């Protein structure tokens, strides 16, 4: 053995540990945009840090565009980025100069074709989307990566365009260019914007679940075309050293980037740009806006709003949502200031369009409260005095702006919640709530099944 | 959506404005924290520092001869660091999510964190339980796929390696309180089943059952034996896949009775500090335990007990023996044989398995000296009884070689000059006669001379097809959902 290898690996290990320390500092160092501390914020901060280490190890050691597999980018035990509680976020590393075949198999997809959902049996998720982009948000550790031109999305495909075989299987070709005469499902992995070429490095996507009892994740398998004769080379110190360093850099980068994102851009903890208000207002919502495709904004038919709840033990927030045009997906989610969605398995901390009930006047009303108010659409703060509120509305065809949803919030004393709801609002019993949580617990085990 | 693509709340325009106008925004000082919060911050920081100290101590087991690492080489060291990070990966999940009130089946081992000379045909799962409570396990075959060849559930009082010391292999240190395998489980429509796990079988319960408490006669220092009650803390599952093309993992769910629909209490700093410390402790202990286990119990590097031989002989296999705690435990229905290959570039091993009693499952596996199975997705480095071809005389012959000899049943060393070989035969009931094995080292270019004359040839295209099936299976076994 070469003494160099031993020393090089040791040095890489020391670098990994140093990065973990820098990541840790973001939990309680105000210079690194740490949220205001409390016992629980700190406890969850360390949990968040550990899960970034967990994800960093997987990505550092196993993201190989030559031999990709579909990994869970976010899951119940590793949450971040104000994740959607209805989603599986998946991700695969690719080299956009190569070609890949992605194959899938879904349960009944009748609802993807605009038909009524199958009455019995398992269903495909409410929504599925794939996106190819030239980067993974947050890896750099600094907001500078969001400058225009840094990254680009080369292609996307969702269920509105996806063609399936009669048995609900599908294939998608991912390649730099569409081969002449190719008529199947296709996503471009390379794109030119303003004379610059962007080569995608990730395919990522989401499966959104509506019916937590019957919807079943789509099976996905990815293979690089022409790779069947190739084998990964024998493992060697130089690669191990590089992967050790990358695992640490990813954990640190993600930790630092999102802290800065939540504080500086979302102005979660105060007005930062001096315009006299926060981007994420307290007990209110900012103006609705749509994701822009220009810099690669997620589901480009999505409409978003955001805010922060801040509630004393005897207070509640009543949210009223008017929806002139019916979206394909509606979600309302709560998250802590690390961007971890609240415990959506064992608590009712999220509600989608199928799980929530409309009032008799057609409005969608949610009640954010620390304890059960006995009304429909309670969102459980799980005792957090403050946290993110993130409604999501997704459309295949976005309506004109004057027909977008409208959303407002009003803080009320907990004892007066019913006064602010329509008189015919029904009572939800504790037994019914237990039954709801039971469905959630079983669903989350199935969504992230072994 | 998340902001994974920078799309959160359509923030791009705002980001742009801030970055172009303000450059880097200043950080704002937080208000001073109260005494309780300051104490929590201090306690958590101390826990984190302990985690780092444990990681440093675990790292030492990679190259400090006193901690029993294998003899160093470039590849051994490189794989050692990967192995160590695998323990950190697994330990983070265990420390954060093992909760006997809200259990779920986690992947105990997977390509990301291989260890313990794992079975390349197995999906290893584990759920934390409290043996005093009652649990329901519900399972069903994945829609559209065949169930695995064999499945076994075992309730155990401890998790192998957690103590960090070989003392946990002493009689009575770790027991299996109950087990149930797929030959005993009652399957309903679509392969659905339900198992009750409880301290005792309820009088009126006739369904599938696993005991989570057990009394065992344990030898005492004074020579007597005493009854000792054990409670299970984990239920482990092995799903063994023989047909990699058509079998997929079961869907499994576990719930603690009384906690279905119950809210989970929130985190607090004191609990989190314990979890952070536990993550580090698990990494250190698992690293140390298995190093010592391979060196001292398996005698991988030399004869340790003075009987003139190594338990894992070089270029040979030890006599097949039933799983036993003294040799690390393992699957309780398995017969194991183990040894090591040590081959030059022009050498190969031919291994003959004589199997007088048909086994429910047969597997032949290779691993490196850290106990990580070789790359079984992208190389044919494992073979089970279904994948292997049997010779006309009823003998199963495999060829361990560093390159493709063009014969059936090649096991690819993936270039490792030395590594573990393990053979597993599953017998739900003890067989009347154990299998036997014979190992012969031969020159690579003389392999055919040691095989039956009617041994076929395997073309590169057939090998490529076999690898394709393997790669797809492994993606399916460790699916993203």
Gyration radius of chain B over CA positions: 25
When pLDDT is cut at 50, 70 and 90, the band that residue B325 belongs to is confident
Q: Is the pLDDT of residue A232 over 90?
A: no
pLDDT tens digits, residue range B226-272? 999 999 999 999 999 999 999 999 999 999 999 999 999 999 999 99
CA A437 to chain centroid: 21
**Lowest mean per-residue pLDDT among A147-151, B80-84, B254-258, B348-352:** A147-151
The token duo for A42 is 């700190």
Q: Which chain B residues are within 8 Å of A449, Cβ to Cβ?
A: 105, 249, 251-252, 479, 481
Listed by number, the residues of chain B in 330-389 with a beta carbon closer than 8 Å to a beta carbon of chain A are: 375, 377-379
Pick A74's closest partner by Cβ from B2, B88, B273: B2
Q: For chain A, say whether B65 makes contact (Cβ under 8 Å).
A: no
Q: Is the pLDDT of residue B9 over 80?
A: no
pLDDT tens digits, residue range A256-299? 999 999 999 999 999 999 999 999 999 999 999 876 543 334 56
Q: For chain B, say whether A448 makes contact (Cβ under 8 Å).
A: yes
Q: How many CB atoms lie within 10 A of CB B65?
A: 8
Q: How far is residue A280's CA from residue A133's CA, in Å, rounded to a whole number?
A: 27
- For A380-419, the three-class secondary structure string (H helix, E strand, C coil) is ECCCCCEEEEEEEEECCCCCCHHHCCEEEEEEEEHHHHHH
Gyration radius of chain A over CA positions: 23
pLDDT tens digits, residue range A23-36? 999 999 999 999 99
Q: How far is residue B210's CA from residue B199's CA, in Å, rounded to a whole number?
A: 8
Beta strands per DSSP E along A37-189: 71-74, 87-93, 100-105, 127-133, 153-158, 169-175, 185-188
Q: How far is residue B336's CA from residue B330's CA, in Å, rounded to a whole number?
A: 9
Q: How many CB atoms lie within 10 A of CB A100?
A: 23
Question: pTM of this prediction?
Answer: 0.94
pLDDT for residue A94: 98
The token duo for B127 is 């759920």
Q: What are the beta bridge partners of residue A108?
A: A123
Across the range B312-340, mean pLDDT stands at 92
| Residues B95, A50: C-beta atoms closer than 8 Å | yes
Question: CA-CA distances (angstroms) from residue A172 to A180, A193, A217, B63?
Answer: 16, 24, 17, 46
pLDDT for residue A227: 80
Widest distance between CA atoms in chain B: 83
CA-based nearest residue to B164, from B69, B280, B276, B282: B282
pLDDT for residue B148: 96
pLDDT tens digits, residue range A329-357? 999 999 999 999 999 999 999 999 999 99
Q: How far is residue A73's CA from residue A81's CA, in Å, rounded to a whole number?
A: 11
The token duo for A31 is 């210079």
The token duo for B66 is 């006193």
Pick B379's closest partner by Cβ from A146, A231, A437: A231
Q: For chain A, say whether B27 makes contact (Cβ under 8 Å).
A: yes
Whether residue A160 contacts residue A329, with contact meaning beta carbons closer than 8 Å, is answered with no
pLDDT for residue B271: 97
Q: Which chain A residues are within 8 Å of B28, Cβ to Cβ?
A: 30, 263, 269-270, 272
| Residues B3, A261: C-beta atoms closer than 8 Å | yes
Residue with tokens 């559930």: B153
Strand pairing report for A315-322 and A329-335: unpaired
The dihedral region occupied by A433, where left means phi > 0, alpha psi between -120 and 50, and beta the remainder, is alpha
Q: How many CB atoms lie within 10 A of CB A324?
A: 12
Chosen from A12, A38, A46 to mutate, greatest number of chain B CBs within 10 A: A46
Q: How far is residue B211's CA from residue B180's CA, in Å, rounded to a whole number?
A: 10
pLDDT for residue A3: 75
Q: For chain A, say whether B143 makes contact (Cβ under 8 Å).
A: yes
Element (H, E) at A351: strand A350-352
Q: How far is residue A183's CA from residue B362's CA, in Å, rounded to a whole number?
A: 45
The token duo for A328 is 């394909």
Cβ within 8 Å of residue B407, ≥6 positions away? B399, B447, B448, B451, B455, B456, B457, B458
Q: Which chain B residues are within 8 Å of A148, Cβ to Cβ?
A: 12, 16
Q: Which chain A residues are within 8 Å of B40, Cβ to Cβ?
A: 37, 39, 42-43
Whether residue B171 contacts residue B324, with contact meaning beta carbons closer than 8 Å, is answered with no
**What string of DSSP letters covers A288-308?**
-EE--TTTT-SSTTEEE--EE
Can you tell me the ipTM of this complex? Answer: 0.94
Q: How far is residue B217's CA from residue B227's CA, in Å, rounded to a whole number?
A: 4
CA-based nearest residue to B420, from B314, B344, B328, B304: B314
Whether residue A15 contacts residue A244, with contact meaning beta carbons closer than 8 Å, is answered with yes
Q: Is the pLDDT of residue B16 over 50?
A: no
CA A329 to chain centroid: 14
Instruction: Read off φ and ψ for residue A137, nearest 5 degrees.
Output: -55, 130
Q: How far is residue A214's CA from residue A351's CA, in Å, rounded to a whole number?
A: 16
Listed by number, the residues of chain A in 162-201 with a beta carbon closer than 8 Å to a beta carbon of chain B are: none
| Residues B77, A237: C-beta atoms closer than 8 Å | yes
Closest residue of B to A304, CA-based?
Answer: B9
pLDDT tens digits, residue range B185-205? 999 988 999 999 999 999 999
Q: How far is residue B231's CA from residue A53's CA, in Å, rounded to a whole number?
A: 33
């Amino acid at each position: 053995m070469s003494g160099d290898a031993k020393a090089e690996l040791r040095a890489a290990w020391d670098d990994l540990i140093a990065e973990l320390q820098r990541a840790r500092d973001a939990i309680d160092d105000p210079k690194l945009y740490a949220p205001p501390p409390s016992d629980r914020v700190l406890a969850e901060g360390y949990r968040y840090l550990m899960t970034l280490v967990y994800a960093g190890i997987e990505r550092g050691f196993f993201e190989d565009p030559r031999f990709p597999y579909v990994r869970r980018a976010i899951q119940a035990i590793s949450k971040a980025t104000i994740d959607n509680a209805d989603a599986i976020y998946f991700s695969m590393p690719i080299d956009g100069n190569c070609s890949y075949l992605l194959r899938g198999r879904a349960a009944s997809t009748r609802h993807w074709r605009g038909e009524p959902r199958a009455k019995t049996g398992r269903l495909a998720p409410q929504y599925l989307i794939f996106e190819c982009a030239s980067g993974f948000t947050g890896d750099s550790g600094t907001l500078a990566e969001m400058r225009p031109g840094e990254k680009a999305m080369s292609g996307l495909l969702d269920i509105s365009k996806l063609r399936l075989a009669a048995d609900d299987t599908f294939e998608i070709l991912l390649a730099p260019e569409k081969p002449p005469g190719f008529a199947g499902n296709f996503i471009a992995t390379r794109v030119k914007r303003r004379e610059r070429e962007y080569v995608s490095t990730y395919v990522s996507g989401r499966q959104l679940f509506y019916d937590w009892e019957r919807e079943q994740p789509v099976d996905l398998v990815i293979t690089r075309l022409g790779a069947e004769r190739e084998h990964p080379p024998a493992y060697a110190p130089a690669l191990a050293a590089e992967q050790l360093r990358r695992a640490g850099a990813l954990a640190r980068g993600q930790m630092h980037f999102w802290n800065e994102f939540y504080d500086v851009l979302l102005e979660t903890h105060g007005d930062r740009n001096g315009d006299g208000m926060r981007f994420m207002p307290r007990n209110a919502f900012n103006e609705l806006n749509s994701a822009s495709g220009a810099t690669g904004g997620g589901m480009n038919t999505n409409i978003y709003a955001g805010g922060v709840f801040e509630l004393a033990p005897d207070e509640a927030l009543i949210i009223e949502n008017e929806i002139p045009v019916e979206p394909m997906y509606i979600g309302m989610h709560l998250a802590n200031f690390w961007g971890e969605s609240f415990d959506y398995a064992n608590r009712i901390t999220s509600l989608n369009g199928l799980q929530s009930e409309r009032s008799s006047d057609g409005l969608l009303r949610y009640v954010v409260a620390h304890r059960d108010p006995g009304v429909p659409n309670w969102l459980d703060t799980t005792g957090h005095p403050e946290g993110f509120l993130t409604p999501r509305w997704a459309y295949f065809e976005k309506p004109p702006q004057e027909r977008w949803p409208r959303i407002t919030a009003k803080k009320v004393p907990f004892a007066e919640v019913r006064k602010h709801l329509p008189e015919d609002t029904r009572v939800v019993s504790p037994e019914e709530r237990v039954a709801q949580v039971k469905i959630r617990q079983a669903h989350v085990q199935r969504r992230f099944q072994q | 959506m998340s902001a994974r693509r920078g799309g959160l709340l359509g923030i791009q325009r705002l980001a742009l404005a801030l970055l172009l106008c303000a450059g880097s925004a200043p950080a704002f000082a937080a208000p001073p924290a109260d005494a309780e919060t300051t104490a929590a911050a201090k306690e958590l920081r101390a826990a984190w520092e302990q985690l780092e100290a444990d990681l440093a101590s675990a790292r030492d087991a990679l190259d400090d001869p006193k901690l029993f690492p294998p003899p160093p080489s470039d590849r051994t060291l490189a794989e050692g660091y990967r192995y160590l990070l695998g323990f950190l990966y697994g330990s983070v999940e265990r420390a954060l999510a093992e909760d006997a009130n809200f259990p779920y089946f986690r992947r105990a081992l997977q390509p990301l964190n291989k260890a313990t000379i794992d079975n390349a045909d197995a999906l290893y799962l584990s759920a934390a339980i409290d043996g005093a409570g009652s649990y329901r396990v519900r399972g069903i075959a994945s829609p559209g796929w065949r169930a695995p060849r064999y499945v076994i559930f075992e309730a155990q009082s401890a998790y192998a390696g957690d103590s960090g010391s070989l003392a946990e292999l002493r009689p009575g240190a770790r027991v299996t309180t109950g087990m149930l395998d797929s030959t005993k489980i009652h399957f309903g429509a679509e392969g659905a089943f339900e198992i009750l796990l409880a301290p005792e079988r309820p009088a009126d319960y006739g369904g599938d059952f696993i005991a989570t408490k057990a009394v065992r006669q344990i030898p005492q220092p004074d020579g007597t034996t005493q009854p000792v009650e054990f409670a299970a803390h984990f239920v482990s599952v092995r799903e063994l896949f023989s047909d990699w093309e058509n079998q997929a993992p079961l869907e499994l769910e576990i719930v603690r009775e009384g906690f279905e629909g119950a809210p989970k209490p929130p985190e607090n700093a004191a609990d989190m500090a314990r979890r952070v410390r536990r993550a580090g402790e698990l990494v250190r202990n698992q690293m140390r335990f298995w190093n010592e286990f391979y060196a001292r119990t398996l005698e991988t590097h030399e004869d340790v007990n003075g009987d003139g031989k190594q338990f894992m002989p070089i270029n040979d296999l030890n006599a097949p023996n039933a799983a036993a705690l003294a040799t690390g435990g393992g699957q309780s229905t398995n017969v194991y044989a183990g040894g090591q290959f040590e081959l030059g570039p022009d050498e190969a091993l031919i291994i003959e398995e004589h199997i007088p009693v048909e086994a429910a499952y047969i597997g032949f596996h290779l691993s490196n000296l850290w106990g990580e199975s070789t790359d079984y997705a992208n190389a044919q480095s494992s073979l089970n009884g279904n994948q292997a071809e049997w010779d006309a005389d009823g003998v199963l012959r495999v060829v361990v070689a560093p390159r493709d000899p063009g014969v059936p049943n090649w096991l690819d060393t993936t270039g490792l000059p030395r590594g573990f070989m393990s053979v597993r035969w599953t017998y739900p009931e003890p067989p009347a006669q154990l299998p036997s094995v014979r190992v012969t080292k031969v020159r690579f270019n003389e392999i055919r001379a040691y095989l039956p004359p009617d041994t076929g040839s395997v073309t590169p295209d057939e090998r490529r097809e076999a690898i394709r099936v393997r790669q797809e299976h492994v993606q399916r076994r460790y699916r993203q959902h």
